[in-house]
Amino acid sequence: MVILIAELYVTPSKKKILKYEHFDSLLIHDHALDVMSTPPITLTKEATMREAKALMRDHRISGVPIVDDKEALVGLVTLENIIIALENNFIDDPIEKHMVRDVVYLKDDMDVSTVLEYLMTYNFGRYPVIDKNNKVVGVITYGDLALHILERLGNVYLHEKKREEILMPGKSLLSHDSYGNGDFYSYIIDSSDLDLAGQGSTSFKKFLQEHEFPPEDTRRASISLYEAEVNVVLHAYGKGEIRAYLKGGQVFMLVTDNGPGIDDIELAMQPGWTTASDEVRERGFGAGMGLDNIKKYSDKLIILSSNAGVKMEIVIVSEDKNKGVPT
């Protein structure tokens, strides 16, 4: 009999969960499906324990899910079962006779925090993952989960590193004209080239420095603007506009685009939520951190979205009210 995980009551170890709490927001949108290794390496119950041993050796794995002719989970053979079979001389028996039947398995639509709870509750090496038709579609080990978490953290790291590089003084990518007149600044975003994303915010950073806007506030403003600008390049076909002005120690930045708009702003604001492709992520974008960063660094944020585009107003209020007067 295979135990239905969904019906089990799981008490997670509070202490351990607390340790993982800060990963939660990053992993909140991921499911077992995103973590598991595929395709699963499986055998049917008619195969022998010797065949299981050979398969485990060839693939360097320590357990094999056993499936029926519909690829549904019926058991599991582990290295321990193999050792016992060798010691007791029944290595040529069919798997059916010796497999583990009470297999703890995961469902492909379980969220990652539930997966983590299972891994911490049962100390098994691997967990078959099944889909809604009970078909085994993958396997999750601690290693798979660790890799997934590292990948997510890696994305966030790349995102931050990339932004720092682009906003670094003397490393400007500038080729487009920007327009800065008195306390007013404007820039047309017109490129979907990710390698060039951030030109507007780089030149705006310079503009603020020239106006002797306080360094920490300049940093907050340029980071927020960078995130909004990259979003236009990444999600709005690269067409948009930055208009900003300085007044009484405040920076007002308006970023508008003609893209498809944001479907669900509340969801998009959540850290880790992204519609970016894996390819984009590998290039240091699409960690799902942009809007969250804008919220974090700005003093006021208004987002208006429709299917004609996004209008975003970001305000930075400096402690120093005398700054930001026209030069």
Ligand X SMILES: Nc1ncnc2c1ncn2[C@@H]1O[C@H](COP(=O)(O)OP(=O)(O)OP(=O)(O)O)[C@@H](O)[C@H]1O
Exposed / middle / buried, residue 308 (Cβ in 10 Å: 0-12, 13-18, 19+): exposed
Please pick, from the candidates 276, 315, 317, 325, the single residue that binds ligand X as defined by CB under 6 A: 276
Q: How far is the CB of 184 from ligand X (least distance, A)?
A: 23
Please pick, from the candidates 52, 106, 233, 310, the single residue that binds ligand X as defined by CB under 6 A: 310
Report yes or no: 98 and 78 within 8 Å, Cβ to Cβ.
no
At position 105, the amino acid (one-letter code) is: Y
Q: Does 105 bind ligand X (CB under 6 A)?
A: no
Exposed / middle / buried, residue 252 (Cβ in 10 Å: 0-12, 13-18, 19+): middle
Please pick, from the candidates 5, 66, 189, 291, the single residue that binds ligand X as defined by CB under 6 A: 291
Q: How far is the CB of 286 from Mg ion (least distance, A)?
A: 7
3-state secondary structure 72-122: EEEEEEEHHHHHHHHHCCCCCCEHHHCCECCCCCEECCCEHHHHHHHHHHC
For the beta carbon of residue 259, count every other beta carbon within 10 angstroms.
Answer: 21
65 binds, among Mg ion, ligand X, none (CB under 5 to 8 A by kind): none
String of contacts with ligand X for each residue 232-271, x by CB under 6 A: x-xxx--------------------x-xxxx-----x---
CB-nearer residue toward ligand X: 290 or 324: 290
Q: Does 271 bind Mg ion (CB under 5 A)?
A: no
Backbone angles phi, psi at 225, to 5 degrees: -65, -40
CB-nearer residue toward Mg ion: 259 or 290: 290
Q: Does 285 bind ligand X (CB under 6 A)?
A: yes
String of contacts with Mg ion for each residue 276-295, x by CB under 5 A: --------------x-----
Distance (Å, whole) CA 221 – CA 180: 16
Q: Does 167 bind ligand X (CB under 6 A)?
A: no
Backbone angles phi, psi at 307, to 5 degrees: -75, 5
Q: How far is the CB of 325 from ligand X (least distance, A)?
A: 31
Please pick, from the candidates 155, 202, 203, 231, the single residue that binds Mg ion as defined by CB under 5 A: 231
Is the link from the previous residue into 40 a cis peptide, with omega within 30 of 0? no
Q: Does 275 bind ligand X (CB under 6 A)?
A: yes
Question: Helix, strand, coil shares of the chain as percentages rounded to 5?
Answer: 40, 25, 35
CB-nearer residue toward ligand X: 180 or 259: 259
Report yes or no: 238 and 193 within 8 Å, Cβ to Cβ.
yes
String of contacts with ligand X for each residue 73-102, x by CB under 6 A: ------------------------------
Strand 136-141 relative to strand 126-130, pairing: antiparallel
| Site of interaction with ligand X (CB under 6 A) | 159, 227, 231-232, 234-236, 257, 259-262, 268, 273-276, 285-292, 310
